[in-house]
Every structure is written in structure tokens, then in C-alpha cells.
Amino acid sequence: MDAPAKTPREIAVPISIFTSLRNALEKEAGALPTIHALHHAGYEAGTAAAASFAGTGDVTAMGQSTFWAKFTDFFSRRGWGTLGRSGEHSAIALLTSPDWAEASPGAGDSNSSCSFSAGFLSGLLSELAGGPVAVLEVDCRARGDERCCFAFGSEVAVHDLYGHLLDGSDLDGALAAL
């Protein structure tokens, strides 16, 4: 008889932890290492969280609508915020939130982002999909956008999207160029 799968132990912390971690890491290591560290930590946490998500039912047997309903509920119940999925593109889909927990509206920093969340989403989706799923935050409430928006897809598609965004395209233009 197989031993029951262990789900990771979870705790609740105030959302101010994201600002505290970012500020402390930036002070010690600088902006870019902070982004990398938070993304990496988020990815590891996301892969571990897959066991908790899998407890909601057999992921491979779920239809798309059931999966995404459970996925968004998974985050909502844990206090991350309201999450919706959209996107008609064949290579990229979007997860958006008007109230995402990691974003600190009014931060006034043009480099602010939900680095931990992007990593967390990537780790969770990669684990559930059984292969790499890249995630790029393309809008962030902490930078003054009205929502946080995470683009996800294959590593190549997300890399290409990022390149178009760096070249000055808006999201719709970048998606159309893919």
C-alpha cells in the first residue's frame, strides 16, 4: 500500500512580508539580485505548492474550465487575490488580478514587480504541467498599472514576448507579433 502523499505545511503571513523581503534584499544585494532571489524562491515554493493544489482532484482528469476554476480558487482562498485567466493567443495566456497580494500600489517604483509571484506561478504551473512553463509579469499595480498581469507559456514564447516588450511594443502589439 502506498503511503499518502505529503502536502507541504502552509502558514499565513501578512502581505507586508513581500515589501519587507524586497526592501531587505535590495539593501543587502541590490535590485537585480533581489528580483532573481525572489523569483527563485517563488519558483521553489510554487513547485512545493503543487502538492496542495493536487489535493483538489486529479489534475490530468480535469477539463480546462474545471482546472482554471480550481486554480483561481486556490489563490483566492489563500489570500493572494482575485485571479482571472484570459488570452486568445495560441502560445501565451494571461492571468490577471486587480488586487494581487504581492503588489504594493503607490510604491512609486518603476522597477517594482511581483517577482516572487511570477516565480511561484511558474513553479506551480510547471509542476502541474509536467514540464517548464515560463511566467512574465507584464503589468503591475506597484508600478501604477490598474492590475497585475502575468503572461505564461513556453519558455521560447515568453522570451519572444519579452523581447517585443523591450523593443517598445505594448502587450497587444507584442502578442500580435508572436
pLDDT at 1: 44
pLDDT at 93: 96
What is the total count of domains within the chain? 1
pLDDT at 106: 65
pLDDT at 108: 60
8 is a domain residue: no
Question: pTM, whole model, 2 decimals?
Answer: 0.91
Domain residue limits at 58: 16-177
102 is a domain residue: yes
49 is a domain residue: yes
10 is a domain residue: no
Q: Chunk the chain into consecutive blocks of 10 residues (it has 178) and report each block's average pLDDT, rounded to whole numbers.
A: 63 88 92 94 95 81 90 94 89 96 75 90 96 96 92 96 95 93
The three grid cell numbers given for residue 51, joined into one nine-digit string: 502538492
Q: Give the CATH number of the domain where residue 104 resides.
A: 3.30.1380.20
pLDDT at 121: 98
The three grid cell numbers given for residue 37, joined into one nine-digit string: 532571489
Give the full edge-to-edge strand order of the sheet including 148-153: 84-86, 92-97, 148-153, 134-139
Q: Do the Cβ atoms of 89 and 175 come closer than 8 Å?
A: yes
Q: Do the Cβ atoms of 129 and 121 come closer than 8 Å?
A: no
